[in-house]
Structure 1
Amino acid sequence: MRPPLPPFTVQTAIEKVRLAEDAWNGQDPEKVSLAYTEDSIWRNRDLFINGRAEIVSFLTAKWRREIQYRLIKGLFAFSDNRIAVRYAYEFHDRTGQWYRAYGNENWEFSESGLMQRRHASINNLPISARERKFRWLMGRRPDDYPGLSELGL
């Protein structure tokens, strides 16, 4: 069981989104993968990922490429066992070029609260270091740090 469980309310959907954000900001592929069913199906940009082993492999490679990764997610909509989020994250590559990625995800959960489907559409925008908005220390975003709307995103 991975609470909060469906069917979602406004409060439990917001909690589920924040838990996902926190896990991804922790950048531990094995730990993150435990929030997904064993046979979870993903579409991430142009990649199709199936199951926890592929999730771990994908996230390991992602966080090697995306240095100083920081993410903010926000609830967009929800129903029974589905949640839609919008998000942005910032990172730099090995050359030092900063990016802000903007995306939307559609999530579907099993009765046990594990995500069984994740469909992500994401676009990267090159930014300068001065344009960065996500400046907390690595790891969990502080509770008092602004969300996407407050940051004008």
Structure 2
Amino acid sequence: MTTQPLVPPFTRDSAVQKVRRAEDGWNTREPETVALAYTPESRWRNRSEWVTGRKEIVAFLTRKWARELDYRLVKELWAHDGDRIAVRFAYEWHDDAGRWYRSFGNENWEFDSSGLMRARHASINDVPIEESERRYHWPLGRRPDDHPGLTALGF
């Protein structure tokens, strides 16, 4: 099945779809696949780290998912305009010692005319949680369509 690219200018519907596709991609935890959604020279700020280009994106995501185990992510559209989308997100993960975290953040995205992301700015805060406080229990991979989003979860 071929999926049509979502390109700017974004409507509310296409922006919501773009956010969900990004969430689905990141939930694969496959750095090489995720990197294909970005331009070859894409520039990121992730927390205090700068990443430029697909090779660095793959290296960054490989390190991230080696450290953030059992990663599950939910993204939600915050705003959109033309070639830009703003999202908020929360993901849950644990470290190699079994300590659980929920990471909350905001991202600002900018896309080229073919729908590839050329800029990503992410601000993220990690909150330690007890395993019993986890809200994301679906099997690793894509979030089920009937799983609540951030607003429904009260995040």
TM above 0.5: yes
Q: How do residues 103-122 of structure 1 correspond to structure 2 at under 5 angstroms?
A: 103-122=105-124
Q: How do residues 107-146 of structure 1 correspond to structure 2 at under 5 angstroms?
A: 107-146=109-148
Residue in structure 2 matched with residue 29 of structure 1 by the alignment: 31
Q: 1:62: how far off? A: 0.4
What TM-score do the two structures reach when normalised by structure 1? 0.99
Residue in structure 2 matched with residue 41 of structure 1 by the alignment: 43
- Structure 1 residue ranges, 4+ long, deviating more than 2 angstroms after superposition: none
Q: Report the Cα distance in structure 1 between the residues aligned to 2:145 and 2:136, rounded to whole angstroms.
A: 13
Q: 1:84: how far off? A: 0.0
* RMSD after superposition: 1.1
Residue in structure 2 matched with residue 57 of structure 1 by the alignment: 59
- Letter aligned with residue 91 of structure 2: Y
What TM-score do the two structures reach when normalised by structure 2? 0.97
3-state SS of paired residue (2:5): coil
Q: Report the Cα distance in structure 1 between the residues aligned to 2:38 and 2:126, rounded to whole angstroms.
A: 25
Q: 1:3: how far off? A: 1.3
- Letter aligned with residue 63 of structure 2: A
Residue in structure 1 matched with residue 22 of structure 2 by the alignment: 20
The alignment-based identity, stated in percent, is 60
* Count of aligned positions: 153
Q: 1:43: how far off? A: 0.1
Q: Report the Cα distance in structure 2 between the residues aligned to 1:151 and 1:137, rounded to whole angstroms.
A: 18
Q: Report the Cα distance in structure 2 between the residues aligned to 1:83 and 1:3, rounded to whole angstroms.
A: 15
Q: Report the Cα distance in structure 2 between the residues aligned to 1:149 and 1:7, rounded to whole angstroms.
A: 25
